[in-house]
Structure 1
Amino acid sequence: MIEEIEIADLGVIASATLPLGSGFTAITGETGAGKTMVVTALGLLLGGRADSGTVRAGASQARVDGRWIVEDTGHVADRVREAGGDVDAFGGDGLAELTLGRTVTAEGRSRAQVGGRSAPNGVLTELGERLVAVHGQSDQIRLRSQSAQRGAVDRAAGAELDEVLARYREAFARWRSEEQELATLTRERDARSAEAAELREAMDEIEAAAPRPGEDDELAATAEKLTNLEELRLSASAAREAISSELVEGGDVLALIENARRSLERVTEFDDALAPIAEQLANLSYLASEAAGELSSYLASLDADGSNELEAINERRAVLGTLMRRHGPSLDDVIAALDQGSARLLELDSDSDRIEQLTRQVEEDGVLVASLAAETTAIRTRAAERLGTAISEELSALAMPDASVIIAVSDTGEYSRNGRDEVQFLLRAHAGAEPRPLSKGASGGELSRVMLAIEVVISASDPVPTYVFDEVDAGVGGAAAIEIGRRLARLSQHAQVIVVTHLAQVAAFATNHLTVVKESDGFVTHSSVKPLEGEARTEEMARLLSGLSDSDTGLAHAEELLELARSDSRLIG
């Protein structure tokens, strides 16, 4: 709720503090004193349009500061912190103090303050939607959108609708998801079939070739060997002949080493230093003999018909090369493609089964959604009838005895997460009249009373912390005005109510009475706000009744009204 509002240099108000607090606050004052500036100030705090024309003449800027008591957790506090501001702990019980501010310069520039920090004006608007509902002859009504009207009916329907709507939304979300998946699979079926065919062809090709890891490198090495087969044979042959052959002029390597060893062995008895050398020559002879043997084996292993094998190897390499170009770039990639293709093909081959399964599920869940939507409509329709009847009964006591509110629940023809229903509040101004949307079916004063009736009826199930009514009693008087006062008092049992009024019958029911007083020093006229209690309040009530604050008859009538209101309050309490 709003604890206090401070106004400086706004319109005719030079400086004023409005102590508000809980309950029902009535704001009265003479015509032209600036009562509307209070609503204007509140509008600025709620993100309303800034108009340089509202800045008091001679002042550089107008300033409005508001102090709210809010919960220290929840949407409001979270949004304030997101904007860089904060709320301050207040009196325990999970409550906190929130400050909002707005300045408007004479040049038309505006600045917003949220929780002690500058913030975009849009933040005030967001918070305002959560904190205050303003009803005035030029204000848009809170239930202006059909979604908000549907929400009001849903809250009036209560737990019965909540349970069905929760089941409907679960089924609707599942149904929509299934429909989307089915549409995607059906739309892409041809493309996915073509992909499956290409995969099968590729896998058949790879499986037929049966490549082995590293096979391409092995074949490349073998091809290199076979391509140079004759040169390998000649070189190996020459090497073997050089090591061991009787045809080598001057002796082969083995013969030369053996001659050298025997020459040393004949004289080692004369010098022991030659013995190790002779032993090394013996080892060399052994190694040379072994190398000669290995060369003979190597020569024997060389295929005289290597050209046939080379042709086969090149053909195999060509097959692997084709695979790598199509599915590579490497042979390892080709082998991996076989495994990956198998998994993808399994997925694609299951499309037909999945489409069949989804088709059944869509049909089943579609029937469930339709059934739950119909149940939702039935509950909404009953709640709308009850709510419309209750609002119409309120109107009869608010000087609109022939008016009625009809809440129409109609079929949109399409399912949404809220069902198939469109909800619209319609006003029939008098018997036989055509019901029309609220904003079009009533005058400004009538619209305010319609909204008061709606707020009184739904306030318990659809609460807003603060309601503000500007001239809600326009065009009303007598007993009807008393009924308006009673209903405002009843509404204040659930929320803070602030009313700008010119009727004593309404102001009498307020628990907090403020008056806007116009003063002049002969040069400048300005206004201020004063709380009224005791005799001062009785005098203001007499002025509202008769225009005379000191009339004995007016004072007596004022006391009578105040006592009536006090008796009513005791009954309400």
Structure 2
Amino acid sequence: MLTELRISDLGVIAEAVLEPGPGFTAVTGETGAGKTMVVTGLSLLLGARADAGLIRRGASRCLVEGSWTLAADEAAELADLGAETDNGELLVGRVISPSRSRALLGGVSVPVVKASEVVTAWATIHGQSEQVRLGTPERQREVLDRFAGTDHAALLARHEQAFTKRRQAASELAALTGAARERARELDLLRFGLDEIASVDPQPDEDVVLAGQAQRLQAVDDLRLAAHAAVMALSGDAEAWDDAPNALGLVAAARKSVDAAVVDDPSLGPVGARLADAAVLLADVAADLASYLDRLEADPARLEWIAERRSALQGLLRKYGASVSEVLAWAAEAAQRSGGLAATDDRIADLQAEVAALDDELAASAAAITKGRAAAGVELAALVRDELSALAMPHARLEFALAPVAIGAHGADQVTIMFTANAGAAPAPLSKAASGGELSRVRLALEVVLASGATGQTFVFDEVDAGIGGAVALEIGRRLARLAEHAQVIVVTHLAQVAAFADTHYVVAKATDGQVTTSGIVAVEGAERLDELARMMAGLEGSANAHAHAAELLAAAAR
């Protein structure tokens, strides 16, 4: 429930505080005094679009704050958002400056959308725009679904979820089916490449290994000459008749000379040892080279096989990579991709089955929704007709017509409120058959019926009595009072017959200094309230007759 509404620098209102009671609160005032700024302020708390033109002339910003009493579970939920409450009350604010707009929830700055989600769960505003909306099939469907109850709402939620899943599955299915030809072409290319690579069966780094082997076999004669020359230089030729010098012979001669000199100079001993080591090392190297020379043989057959193998590998390198490693990497990716493409056919079959199952589910839930709407429509129409009869429309007839349409997120019905105000006239769509005053009464009748079981809600009516007067206005006031038995009702009205039923009465009064006009809000009781009701009825605040009529009106409302 809204316990306080504080407005600063909004329109013509400089500073005002409204403290609506738990029942029926009326807001009145002369035309142009700024009554609608109360509704505008509440609209801003509910997420209405910010407009810098709302800022009062001469002010740098405008501020609207509303205090709401919360249930324990609501306070705990808001605490999770970081919003702070004070003794079970939450302060919601909206600040508008020329450059930006921001919302406050329990002292924490939040997106306007988030604050709107919170407040719209508690409050509903009905103005002239709502009358326009009531003429649309969407709003008429929402009214009927709202009356149909919680089980119907749960069915609608399940239907909408299934419809969303069906739309997503159908979209994916269409995309996969539409690309079937391109997918098949790509799969054929991938499989051809994989088969070609598999027939060659390249091994990791095989191209590098074969290149080294080929180079060695092609240079075997040069390698033999180089190894033989190296052996001759190290150890000489045992079969040769000449005594050509060699490394081992020269080192042996040097060692012999040093060993002889050690007798005279022992310091040469280490040099002799190093020469001995050098001789051993040279002998090992000479032996290794001799062994290499013995193994070094030409192998034309092996060289030919290597050439053929390298040619086969080169055919893969031209298509799938600059090296065998890249070819193998391409093959791994292609295998994964082809597996995914092949699995797409299975996915198509799964999606087709899913869409078919969802179609059956949606058909069943849409039929149940239609059945629920038909039953709710009969009951709601009867209750609204009773209300309209009390609002001086005894011959009014209202029906909810259901026309079949393609299954959508909200079922398979187009809901149209059919209405006639006169006996013997055929009902026609509400948007065409009802005048402005009749539409106001239909909307009020609907709200009274729909809110009969609602508790803790706040309903705000702006000019609900437009185009109405006399006895009908009294009945509107009486209906609003009945609505206030279950919910908080705030009404901006210009009719004394409506305001007389209020539990709390506020007046918006304007003042001017000759340059700037400002308005304020004051609560009226007793004689002040009589003055206001007299002004509203006759425009005569001090008239004894007007006061008598106002007192009589209050007494009638009290009865």
TM-score, scaled to structure 1 = 0.78
The 8 Å contact of residues 131 and 443 in structure 2, kept in 1 or not, is answered as no
1:298 is aligned to 2:292:
yes
Q: CA, structure 1 residues 326+462, in 2 after alignment: closer, same or farther (shift >3 Å)?
A: farther
Q: CA, structure 1 residues 96+533, in 2 after alignment: closer, same or farther (shift >3 Å)?
A: same
Deviates more, 1:275-284 or 1:112-121: 112-121
Q: Deviations over 1:148-207 (max 9, x none)?
A: 433332221112213323433343344333323332332222222222222222222222
Q: CA, structure 1 residues 228+251, in 2 after alignment: closer, same or farther (shift >3 Å)?
A: same
Of the candidates 370, 374, 380, which is equivalent to residue 381 of structure 1?
A: 374
What SS does the aligned partner of 1:37 have? coil
Q: Deviations over 1:11-52 (max 9, x none)?
A: 6x88765543432122445xxx33662114532663579697
The match for 2:449 is 457
Cα offset, 1:327, TM superposition? 2.3
1:336 is aligned to 2:317:
no
What SS does the aligned partner of 1:177 have? helix
Distance 1:274 1:120 in 2: 96
Of the candidates 206, 228, 231, which is equivalent to residue 197 of structure 2?
A: 206
Q: Gaps spanning 5+ residues in structure 1: where?
A: 104-108, 568-573
1:490 is aligned to 2:482:
yes
Q: CA, structure 1 residues 338+5, in 2 after alignment: closer, same or farther (shift >3 Å)?
A: closer
1:468 is aligned to 2:465:
no
Q: CA, structure 1 residues 113+346, in 2 after alignment: closer, same or farther (shift >3 Å)?
A: closer
AA partner of residue 42 (structure 1): V
Q: CA, structure 1 residues 508+275, in 2 after alignment: closer, same or farther (shift >3 Å)?
A: closer
The 8 Å contact of residues 94 and 102 in structure 2, kept in 1 or not, is answered as yes
The match for 1:362 is 355
The match for 2:420 is 428
Distance 2:506 2:52 in 1: 25
Distance 1:325 1:5 in 2: 79
Report percent identity of matched pairs. Answer: 37
What SS does the aligned partner of 1:20 have? coil
1:162-181 matches, cutoff 5 A? 162-181=153-172
1:314-329 matches, cutoff 5 A? 314-329=307-322
Q: Gaps spanning 5+ residues in structure 2: where?
A: none
AA partner of residue 67 (structure 2): I
The 8 Å contact of residues 76 and 127 in structure 1, kept in 2 or not, is answered as no
TM-score, scaled to structure 2 = 0.80
Distance 2:163 2:169 in 1: 10
Q: Deviations over 1:91-136 (max 9, x none)?
A: x12x212344668xxxxx7986754999999999989866764445
The 8 Å contact of residues 128 and 462 in structure 2, kept in 1 or not, is answered as no
The 8 Å contact of residues 141 and 451 in structure 1, kept in 2 or not, is answered as no
The 8 Å contact of residues 136 and 469 in structure 1, kept in 2 or not, is answered as yes
Of the candidates 410, 419, 424, which is equivalent to residue 411 of structure 2?
A: 419
The match for 2:4 is 3
The match for 2:212 is 221
Cα offset, 1:525, TM superposition? 9.6
The 8 Å contact of residues 72 and 87 in structure 1, kept in 2 or not, is answered as no
The 8 Å contact of residues 44 and 64 in structure 1, kept in 2 or not, is answered as no
Cα offset, 1:63, TM superposition? 8.6
Q: CA, structure 1 residues 170+340, in 2 after alignment: closer, same or farther (shift >3 Å)?
A: same
The match for 1:106 is none
Deviates more, 1:15-24 or 1:544-553: 544-553
Q: CA, structure 1 residues 283+365, in 2 after alignment: closer, same or farther (shift >3 Å)?
A: same
What SS does the aligned partner of 1:350 have? helix
Deviates more, 1:69-78 or 1:558-567: 69-78
What SS does the aligned partner of 2:447 have? helix
Count of paired positions:
546
Distance 1:44 1:507 in 2: 21
Cα offset, 1:289, TM superposition? 4.1
Distance 2:33 2:425 in 1: 33
Q: CA, structure 1 residues 511+279, in 2 after alignment: closer, same or farther (shift >3 Å)?
A: closer
Cα offset, 1:485, TM superposition? 1.2
Distance 1:14 1:304 in 2: 108
Distance 1:283 1:110 in 2: 93
Q: Deviations over 1:467-502 (max 9, x none)?
A: 123151633312x33321111112223433233444
The 8 Å contact of residues 66 and 93 in structure 2, kept in 1 or not, is answered as yes
Deviates more, 1:480-489 or 1:421-430: 421-430
1:43 is aligned to 2:40:
yes
Q: Deviations over 1:413-432 (max 9, x none)?
A: 1x333222333334333345
